[in-house]
Amino acid sequence: MANLKNLYTDIDLTFNRLPVTNDIALSYDEQSVIRAVRNLLLTNFYDRPFQPTLGSNIDKLLFEPASGVTASAIKDEIINVINNYEPRASVNSVVVNPSPDTNSFNVTLQLFIGNNTLPTTFNLILQRSR
């Protein structure tokens, strides 16, 4: 997976300490892009100062019935936000499965990152927290 050779470097929002250097932890390349996508999915409209259109509407959709219709809307939101705000990734496939028992959605996201020829896959569980 790690074949981009530190093309992308980002700070890690967990702010962990590296035990050897005592420096702050960084995230690189695919890891960095996946974190960025995750940030975008968790950002609502009007969250960021002076950029009201940045982010997605997923937060609101999580309060809709956990059905196929909502899942489809969430899928559209995910594709839109990545296309609009994450130029490093292109969506290969998004699968959103509603899980009515837990009021959550299981998301499986396949992205092409940078010039990688193989897609990167990762899973998310979207669940409302309040």
Partner 1 sequence: MSSSNTNVQITDLDFNSIKSNFITYLQNQDTFKDYNFQGSALSVLLDVLAYNTQYNAYYLNMVANEMFLDSALQRSSVVSQAKALGYVPASAVAPTAYINFTGRGITTSSFTIPKFSNFMSEAIGGVNYNFVTIDSTTVPVTSGIATITNLELKQGIPVNFNFTVNSTSNPTYTFEIPDPNIDTSTIQVLVQQSVSNTAYDVYTQTQNYLTLNGTSKVYFLQESINGNYQISFGNGVLGQQLSDGNIVKVSYVATDGSAATGANNFVYMNSSPNLGSYVITPQIAASQGKNKESVDSIKFQAPKSYAAQGRAVTKEDYISLLQQNNLGISFDAVNVWGGEENNPPIYGQVFMSLKPTGGYVLTETQKQRLIQNTIKPYSVLTVEPTIVDPDYTYLQITCNVLYDPKKTTLNAGSIQNVVANAINNFALSTLNTFNSTFKSSDLVNIIQNSNQSIITNEISVKVQKKFYPKLGSANSYKLYYGVPLQQGTFLSGIYNTPSFSYNDPTGTISDVYIQEIPSSTSGIQSISVINPGYGYQTPPTVTINGDGSGATATAVLNGNGSIKEIVVVTPGSGYTTAFVTITNASNDTTGALGAGIVNLIGQFGTLELYYNNPNIASTKVILNNNIGSIDYTNGVVYLNAFNPVNVNNPLGELTITGTPTTSIISSSYNRIVTVDQFDPTAIIVNVTAKTS
Q: Which residues bind partner 1 (CB under 8 A)?
A: 7-13, 26-27, 32, 35-37, 39-40, 43, 48-51, 54, 85-88
Q: How many Å apart are CA 18 and CA 8, to the nearest integer? A: 19
Shortest spacing between CB 98 and partner 1, in angstroms? 25
Shorter beta-carbon distance to partner 1: residue 10 or 64? 10
Shortest spacing between CB 2 and partner 1, in angstroms? 15
Shortest spacing between CB 106 and partner 1, in angstroms? 21
Q: Is 74 left (phi over 0), alpha (psi -120 to 50) or beta?
A: alpha
Shorter beta-carbon distance to partner 1: residue 11 or 118? 11
Shorter beta-carbon distance to partner 1: residue 14 or 101? 14
Q: Could you tell me the CA-to-CA distances from 40 to 93, 117, 128 in Å, in that order? A: 17, 24, 16
Shortest spacing between CB 86 and partner 1, in angstroms? 5
Place of tokens 């700070």: 11
Place of tokens 């409209």: 45
Shorter beta-carbon distance to partner 1: residue 66 or 107? 107
Q: Does residue 27 contact residue 12 with C-beta atoms inside 8 Å? A: yes
Half-sphere exposure of residue 98, counting CA atoms within 13 Å on the CB side? 17
